[in-house]
């Protein structure tokens, strides 16, 4: 049985040398895991367009993408997630938690202290070495 493929994008939002990390809410898939925020691509959207839209929808904030980090995939029970991660900076807004239960700002050397969703771990490994 072939699993469905889910294309997603994520933003490692950088401010004052720290990255924004968000915790998935109870009741959603991967509840309690930490992630770089983002979401699914819609038809006809580029990765960059999807990411800007998702951060606007989930955090009422505007970002500017500054750097491509990596692409990673992970086979979950519900499908294979292929995720592109980008570094971004906050242009406007306060990153309000609309869909997440918790958040924190961590220096690159602190990123490995959280329990990250599996597909986020390769980006965490790259960014933690900065």
> Tell me: the pLDDT tens digits for 98-107?
888 999 999 9
Give me the sign of the Cα torsion angle 86, 126, 123, 5: positive
In this structure, what are the phi and psi dihedrals at residue 97, rounded to the nearest 5 degrees?
-85, 100
- Domain segments of the chain as ranges: 5-127
pTM over 0.85: yes
> Tell me: the pLDDT tens digits for 13-72?
999 999 999 999 999 889 999 999 999 999 999 999 999 999 999 899 999 999 999 999
Does domain 5-127 bear CATH number 3.90.79.10? yes
């Amino acid at each position: 049985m072939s699993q469905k493929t889910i294309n997603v994008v994520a933003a490692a939002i950088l401010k004052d040398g720290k990255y924004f990390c968000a915790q998935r809410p109870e009741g959603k898939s991967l509840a309690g895991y930490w992630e770089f925020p983002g979401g699914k691509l819609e038809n006809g959207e580029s990765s960059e367009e999807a990411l800007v839209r998702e951060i606007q929808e989930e955090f009422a904030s505007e970002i500017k993408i500054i750097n491509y980090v990596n692409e990673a995939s992970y086979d979950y029970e519900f499908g294979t997630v292929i995720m592109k991660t980008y570094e971004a900076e906050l242009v406007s807004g306060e990153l309000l938690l609309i869909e997440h239960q918790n958040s924190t700002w961590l220096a690159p050397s602190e990123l490995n202290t959280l329990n990250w969703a599996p597909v986020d771990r390769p980006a965490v490994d790259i960014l933690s070495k900065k």
